Structure 1
Amino acid sequence: MTERKPPGVSFESWVERQIRLAQQRGEFDNLPGAGKPLPQGPKDRLDWFARKLERENVDGSALLPPSLAVAKEIEELPARLSRERSEAGVREIVAHLNERIRQVHRGPQVGPPLRARPVDVEEAVQAWRERRKA
């Protein structure tokens, strides 16, 4: 057990002395991780959160305000539709997206306003057909 700090001795001096004595006794020899660099801490306040989401395989867009999540979905729509195999599937995806767009417009504003209108289903189907021909 470590002795108590004697009165009149600065805390820093006492701690340094305890460390020096422990080194002399070899208590720091062969510790796990010896000779390896210390792990880096977070670069900013939210870095740990980003790493946690990545480890847990959480989609970051699930944390966005609805208006930003829908805007991102609209942006990714052409790529998503290009993976779809049937016209019925395309129509269903666009219908679901349009419903979410309407919900954002009807609901209370959380985050920046959504400046997008519902997607024209027929235009989306026509663009899907053209991409499939190419």
Structure 2
Amino acid sequence: MTERKPAGMPFETWVDRAIREADERGEFTDLPGAGKPIPGAGQPDDELWWVKAKLRREKLTFIPPSLALRKDVEEIHDRAAQQCGEADVRRLVDDLNARIRIAIRTGIAGPAITVMPLDPDQVVATWRERRTPAADATTGTAEPRPTQPARQRWFRGRRRS
């Protein structure tokens, strides 16, 4: 901080002197953003500039819910390929179908909803087709694992009669 402005000195002169002295001390060297244009300079003022800056900084996107549903339907097979089992794939499809049904029933913001609930059996069949070649390539053939014999109980206490 600097000292207070002397009483008899004009404000402009005092500010100019403070800037000059700080520059001589080197307080303005190596500042972040030095020599770069001011972001948003020359663009019209926007009320939500801080929201847009936050979205850009966090690398987030905002799309209307109806378009998000459409995007999820397009990506369902890729997301299903990442699942480990058929139950997980069915759960994924059931969750998406529930969101689609709610959107159709209640209506959501954005363009008209053009997607219909998916057939879980069809998605599972596609998941199996994509998965089988990968399983064959890694193990040679997709063989079932040998079953282990049933374990016996370790404690056989006396039976009470």
User: Which position in structure 2 is the counterpart of 1:53?
Assistant: 55
**Per the alignment, do residues 86 and 38 of structure 1 end up closer, same or farther by CA in structure 2, a change over 3 Å counting?**
same
Q: Runs of 4+ in structure 1 displaced over 6 angstroms?
A: none
Question: Tell me, which stretches of 5 or more residues in structure 1 are unaligned?
Answer: 6-14
- Structure 1 letter corresponding to 2:35: P
Q: CA deviation at 1:107?
A: 0.8
Indicate yes or no: 2:128 matched with 1:129. yes
User: Which position in structure 2 is the counterpart of 1:37?
Assistant: 35
2:22 touches 2:28 (CA, 8 Å); kept in 1? no
Question: How many matched pairs?
Answer: 120
Alignment of 1:1-134 (within 5 A): 1=5, 3-4=9-10, 15=12, 21-22=17-18, 26-29=21-24, 30-34=26-30, 36-38=34-36, 40-42=38-40, 49-53=51-55, 55-56=57-58, 59-60=60-61, 63-134=62-133
2:64 touches 2:109 (CA, 8 Å); kept in 1? yes
2:90 touches 2:120 (CA, 8 Å); kept in 1? yes
**Per the alignment, do residues 93 and 32 of structure 1 end up closer, same or farther by CA in structure 2, a change over 3 Å counting?**
same
**Per the alignment, do residues 40 and 75 of structure 1 end up closer, same or farther by CA in structure 2, a change over 3 Å counting?**
farther
Q: Which structure has more helix as a fraction of its residues?
A: 1
- Structure 2 letter corresponding to 1:31: E
Residue 103 of structure 2 aligns to a residue whose secondary structure is helix
TM score, norm. by length of structure 1: 0.69
- Structure 2 letter corresponding to 1:79: D
TM score, norm. by length of structure 2: 0.59
CA distance in 1, matches of 2:100, 2:122: 17
CA distance in 1, matches of 2:95, 2:16: 68
- Higher RCO, Cα 8 Å, sep 6+: 1
**Per the alignment, do residues 116 and 74 of structure 1 end up closer, same or farther by CA in structure 2, a change over 3 Å counting?**
same
Query: Aligned-residue CA RMSD in angstroms?
Result: 3.0
Identity percentage of aligned residues = 32
**Per the alignment, do residues 19 and 117 of structure 1 end up closer, same or farther by CA in structure 2, a change over 3 Å counting?**
same
Question: Tell me, which stretches of 5 or more residues in structure 2 are unaligned?
Answer: 134-161
Residue 96 of structure 1 aligns to a residue whose secondary structure is helix
